[in-house]
Every structure is written in C-alpha cells, then in structure tokens.
Amino acid sequence: MAGSFGAESTTDEVLKGVDLSGKRILVTGASAGLGVETARVLAAHGAQVVGAARDLDKARGATVTVRGGAANGGGLELVQLDLASLASVRACADSLNADARPFDVIIANAGVMACPKGTTADGFETQFGTNHLGHFVLINRIAGLLKGGGRLVNLASAGHRFSDVDLDDPNFEHTPYTEFGAYGRSKTANVLFAVGFDARHKNRGVRAAAVHPGVIQTELGRHLTPDLIQQIMGSTANSGQPAMVFKSIPQGAATSVWTAVVADAAAVGGRYCEDCHVADITEDPNARDGVRAYALDPARAAALWAKSEAMVGERF
C-alpha cells in the first residue's frame, strides 16, 4: 500500500481505509492551503488534530470544514503560534508541555516563501528564521511529547536545490540577498533538521523525514512577482523538459500524510520524500525531482544543529 501512490494521488486516496482513531497529530500552519487540507483529511479519518496558527481568527474561519468533516472520534483544536517570534514559539511549546498529552505525529507545515528581505522579531533573516529556526525551537522543546514510534514530517521543497545553507552568514549580513536564495537555504535547513532529528531520536522509535509537496498555488506564493514566477518555473524551452504542472491542494498534501502515517517508518526515516515515495539523490540541474546530496549529509545536519542552537541560545 505504501508504494502504490504517485504525483497525482490525493489525500483521500492515500488515506483510504486508514483508521487514525486515537491518534493525536500536530499540524503547524493550519490556517490556509496545505495545512487546512492536512488537518481536514486527518480529522476525517479519526485523528485528534492540534492546528497551530499565527492568526487564530483566520484559522477558525478556514477550518470550519475540518470540524464539519471530522469522523470516528476525530476533531480539531487550535493553538496560537507565530514562528517568526521565539517568544511565541516558546509560549506555544510551554502550553503544549503543560497540557502533557502526547503526539503520534508532528507535521511542520507552516512557512513563508520568496519574501522581500526582512527579519523576524528576533533579528533572523525572515525565511530562515520562520521556516527553520521557529520549528527547530518548537519541535525540540516538545520532542518529549512525541510517542515512541511517532514521526516528525518537515515540509521542505524542491526549492532546496536553489542553495545549501550558509552557516557563516545565515542572516545575509555579508551575502547579497535573493528571494529564492534565502528560500533555498531555509528549505535545505528543513531537510537537514529532519536528518538531525532522526539521528537523535530513532533509538526510541521516533523517525523524521522531509517532504516536497510539489508546485501548488496557495497563499505561500503571495510574494511572487512575475519575475520570481519565471525563476521558479524555469525555462522549459531551454531545458527540453515538459511544462511544469501545478498540483491541486489535496495532491500537494498527499505526500505529507503518506509520510506521516502510511509509509514504512524505516524507509522514510532521515530521508526526503516527494510524490508519495522516497526521492533519489541527484545532481542533475535539469531534473524535476530528486534531492541534493548536501541536504541529506549527516555532518552538515550536525553543523546546522550546532549553529541553530547558538543562534537561538538553547541546547537540545
């Protein structure tokens, strides 16, 4: 079953016949797009979903269908989380730890993409600070709530191929800023964080993986100008590749739920998944699929972990 899906599979197809009753799953970014769809399908199959969102009023409105479609004991509760503020991240983690109910899965779905140069509340470059450091602190602070046999799923992107992390200049203090260069760094960091987390927790049966959902038109693209769209789509005429195909939101969220509750844990642990399968390593600049070797490098993951701890002022 775990290997019978592909790029066009939807969340409902991936979870057909799967009973998640009694499972508790945290989904960040549960106020739009992939986060709402992920929460919807999980609750529809019986999971108790905790949706984290920066704007709770927006999340309440966006998740009406999640509550309405919950079945088999499934449901949704919302918690406040602004990944661009470590004070908010720590408050969210403290609240979840005080509640003390464990999680079977954490899906780190929230993020920003290709935004103008800026900083988070703590002075970090916006994309690296939000996409990586916010999740790094949240997940490590609540790692004890992940049950043995549980999973962490980090939403990364094929955009990791734009750039490796720069541990000498993570905030673009000396490097010229580009929207997709910064996005690429943050998405590579998402993959490397999964690699590092998996290495630290697999001895207790907790596995971590990164996923690429595909190219989807959601609110994530709110900052995209025509020039930036051309950059991400690439020149298909020059590459000889067929035109890039957008996925629907249910197709985009399918790899997240496949990796979280359907795929074999040992197969996806420490890996990068796309189109409901584990991706191959490739260095082909024209390839539309696959993962760069630097994003799965254990030594690189350890170095990023240490740098991230130094940046946020906490050891995990």
Residues assigned a catalytic role: 177
Place of tokens 């004890």: 144
Dist CA 110 CA 140 (whole Å): 16
How far from the centroid of its chain's Cα atoms is residue 82's Cα? 15
Q: Which residue, chain included where needed, has tokens 């693209």? A: 221
Is residue 51 within 8 A of residue 35, CB to CB? The reply is yes
Judge whether 63 and 33 are in contact, CB under 8 Å.
no
Cα separation, 208 vs 202, whole angstroms: 8
Q: What is the distance between the alpha carbons of residues 276 and 48, in angstroms, rounded to a whole number?
A: 23
**By the 8 A CB rule, do 278 and 271 touch?**
yes
Amino acid present at 38 = T
How far apart are the C-alpha atoms of 287 and 298, rounded to whole Å? 23
Q: Per DSSP, which regions of 103-178 are E strands?
A: 103-108, 146-155
Give, for 239, the enclosing helix (H) or strand (E).
helix 236-239
Beta bridge partners, 212, equal 274
Give the phi and the psi of residue 273 in degrees, each rounded to 5: -115, 150
Q: Is the Cα torsion angle 313, 271, 181, 93 positive or negative in sign? A: negative
